[in-house]
C-alpha cells in the first residue's frame, strides 16, 4: 500500500471504530416523500424538499424549457458570458421577496457563504458566529482571514459580551447566524440579535436556508421579525425551492460589490439555465399556493404534539439521542418500518448530541406523521 492509501485506510478505520464512518447510499426519490433505497421503498423524513417542488410538474417543465432555449450549461463564469437572461429575472424576484434592493445568485448556498463573508470581512476585522451555525458559514468566516469568535447558541447576552470584548480592536464587524438552525430546527431571535449588532456597529448576515418557503408565509424567518435590521439575507435554492443554487439579497451597492469581488462567484461557472428557471417556477408556486407553504410547519407541529415535545418552530424536529450508536440504532429501527430518518452524528453536530433529524414536508400524509411519532416514541423514553 502506498503512503497516501495507508493514510486513508487508517483514518477510515478510526472513524469506523467510533461509529462515525459515513458512505453514500444511492437513493431514488420519486417525489418529495417516497424514496427507494437498497431495493426498498420508504417514506423519507430526511429530504429538505419541504414543499415537494423538486418534482413539481411546473418546476420540471420550466427547467426542460430553459435547456431547450439556453442549453445545458452556462458556458462560463457569470462575469464572462455565463449570465444568461434568466438570472436577472430570478434576482429581481428574490430581492422582491426579501424587500431588498437587489440580489445575487450563486452556484450553491455553500459557495454563497464562502464568497459573501470574505467580501465584507478580512484581516483586522471581526466575524461573530452562532456556535451552531452551518458549516459553510464557518468556512466563509475562516476564509476571510478576520478574527472569528463564536457566541453561545441563540444567546444574545453572550453575543453582546463577545462584541464588547473584541469589537473595539476590529476594523469592522459582521455577526452571522442561521435563521432556522439546520440540525435543531429552532429560530434565531433576529430582533434582539439585530439590536445588539447595531449597538456595536456590527453588520448582520442571516442564513435562511431552512426558512425560505416555510416560514413567514414563504418569505422566510426575517418576516417574523419586522423590526430586525438585516444587512445580508442569504439563503439557498436547494431546499424548499427544490432545485440548486444560493443567493444573497441586500442593498444595490452591497450586491454590486459582491458581483465584483466574491471569489466563489467570479471564479466559478454560472448555474445551468435549468436551475435558474426551476427556481423562478418554484417561486411562482410559493406565491400561488399558501396552503402548500403552511403545510410543513403544520406537519412538524402535529408530530411534536403527538409526542408531547416542545412545539416545533420550523419544519425540522431533532430527537437528540446522545451517542452515535444510539442514533444509528434508532434510524435502523425506523428504516425497518419503512421510515427513512438519516441519523446525524458528529462532526455535523457537537459530540454527544447525535440525533435523528426529522424534516417534514408538504407531501407527508398525516397518517405517515402519526406512524413516525409511534415509531419514535419508544426512543424518547431511553
Ligand atoms: C444546506 C445549507 C447551506 C448550504 O446550501 P447548499 O445550497 O446546499 O450549498 C447553507 N446554510 C445552511 C443553514 C444550510 O442548511
Pocket test for ligand 1, best of 47, 108, 110, 188 (most atoms within 8 A of CB): 110
Find the 375 Cα to ligand 1 centroid distance in Å. Answer: 29
pLDDT at 381 over 90: no
Which are the catalytic amino acids? Answer: 182, 210, 239
pLDDT-derived band at 75 (thresholds 50, 70, 90) equals very high
pLDDT at 1 over 90: no
Is the CB of residue 134 below 6 angstroms from any atom belonging to ligand 1?
A: yes
Is the CB of residue 246 below 6 angstroms from any atom belonging to ligand 1?
A: yes
Pocket test for ligand 1, best of 94, 109, 117 (most atoms within 8 A of CB): 109
33-39-43 Cα angle (round to 5): 20
Residue 222 DSSP code: G
Q: How far is residue 40's CA from residue 206's CA, in Å, rounded to a whole number?
A: 39
Domains of the chain: 22-54+290-380 (3.90.1150.10), 74-271 (3.40.640.10)
pLDDT digits (tens, 9 = 90+) for 132-185: 999 999 999 999 999 999 999 999 999 999 999 999 999 999 999 999 999 999
Q: Which residue's CA lies nearest to atom 1 of ligand 1?
A: 209
Q: How far is CA 312 from CA 157, 211, 322, in A?
A: 24, 13, 20
Is the CB of residue 110 below 6 angstroms from any atom belonging to ligand 1?
A: yes
Burial of 52 per CB tally in 10 Å (0-12, 13-18, 19+): buried
Report the nearest atom of ligand 1 relative to the CA of 48: 1
Spatial neighbors of 179 by CB under 8 A, at least 6 apart, are 187, 188, 190, 206, 207, 208, 209, 210, 211, 215, 220, 221, 222
**Percent helix, strand, coil in the chain (nearest 5)?**
45, 20, 35
Pocket test for ligand 1, best of 116, 134, 178 (most atoms within 8 A of CB): 134
pLDDT-derived band at 32 (thresholds 50, 70, 90) equals confident
Find the 184 Cα to ligand 1 centroid distance in Å. Answer: 14
Predicted TM-score (pTM) of the model is: 0.96
Amino acid at each position: 500500500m502506498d503512503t497516501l492509501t495507508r493514510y486513508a485506510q487508517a483514518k477510515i478505520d478510526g472513524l469506523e471504530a467510533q461509529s462515525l464512518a459515513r458512505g453514500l447510499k444511492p437513493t431514488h426519490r420519486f417525489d418529495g416523500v417516497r424514496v427507494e433505497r437498497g431495493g426498498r421503498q420508504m417514506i423519507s423524513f430526511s429530504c429538505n424538499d419541504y414543499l415537494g417542488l423538486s418534482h413539481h410538474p411546473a418546476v420540471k417543465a420550466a427547467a426542460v424549457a430553459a435547456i431547450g432555449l439556453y442549453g445545458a450549461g452556462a458556458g462560463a463564469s457569470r462575469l464572462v458570458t455565463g449570465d444568461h437572461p434568466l438570472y436577472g429575472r430570478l434576482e429581481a424576484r428574490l430581492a422582491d421577496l426579501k424587500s431588498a434592493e437587489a440580489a445575487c445568485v450563486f452556484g450553491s448556498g455553500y459557495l454563497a457563504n464562502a464568497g459573501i463573508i470574505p467580501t465584507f470581512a478580512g484581516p483586522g476585522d471581526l466575524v461573530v458566529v452562532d456556535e451552531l451555525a452551518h458549516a459553510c458559514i464557518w468556512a466563509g468566516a475562516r476564509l476571510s482571514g478576520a478574527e472569528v469568535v463564536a457566541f453561545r447558541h441563540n444567546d444574545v447576552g453572550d453575543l453582546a459580551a463577545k462584541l464588547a470584548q473584541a469589537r473595539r480592536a476590529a476594523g469592522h464587524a459582521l455577526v452571522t447566524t442561521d435563521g432556522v438552525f439546520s440540525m435543531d430546527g429552532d429560530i434565531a431571535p433576529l430582533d434582539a440579535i439585530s439590536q445588539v449588532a447595531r449597538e456595536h456597529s456590527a453588520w448582520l448576515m442571516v442564513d435562511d436556508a431552512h426558512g425560505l418557503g416555510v416560514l413567514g408565509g414563504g418569505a422566510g424567518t426575517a418576516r417574523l421579525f419586522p423590526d430586525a435590521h438585516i444587512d445580508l439575507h442569504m439563503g439557498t435554492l436547494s431546499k424548499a425551492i427544490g432545485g440548486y443554487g444560493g443567493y444573497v439579497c441586500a442593498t444595490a451597492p452591497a450586491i454590486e460589490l459582491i458581483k465584483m469581488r466574491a471569489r466563489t462567484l467570479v471564479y466559478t461557472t454560472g448555474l445551468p439555465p435549468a436551475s435558474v428557471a426551476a427556481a423562478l417556477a418554484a417561486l411562482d408556486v410559493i406565491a400561488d399556493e399558501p396552503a402548500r407553504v403552511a403545510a410543513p410547519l403544520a406537519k412538524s407541529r402535529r408530530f411534536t404534539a403527538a409526542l408531547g415535545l416542545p412545539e416545533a418552530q420550523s419544519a425540522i424536529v431533532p430527537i437528540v439521542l446522545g451517542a452515535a450508536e444510539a442514533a444509528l440504532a434508532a434510524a435502523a429501527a425506523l428504516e425497518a418500518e419503512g421510515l427513512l430518518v438519516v441519523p446525524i452524528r458528529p462532526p455535523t453536530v457537537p459530540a454527544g448530541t447525535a440525533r435523528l433529524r426529522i424534516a417534514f414536508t408538504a407531501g407527508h400524509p398525516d397518517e405517515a406523521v402519526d406512524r413516525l411519532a409511534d415509531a419514535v416514541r419508544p426512543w424518547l423514553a431511553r
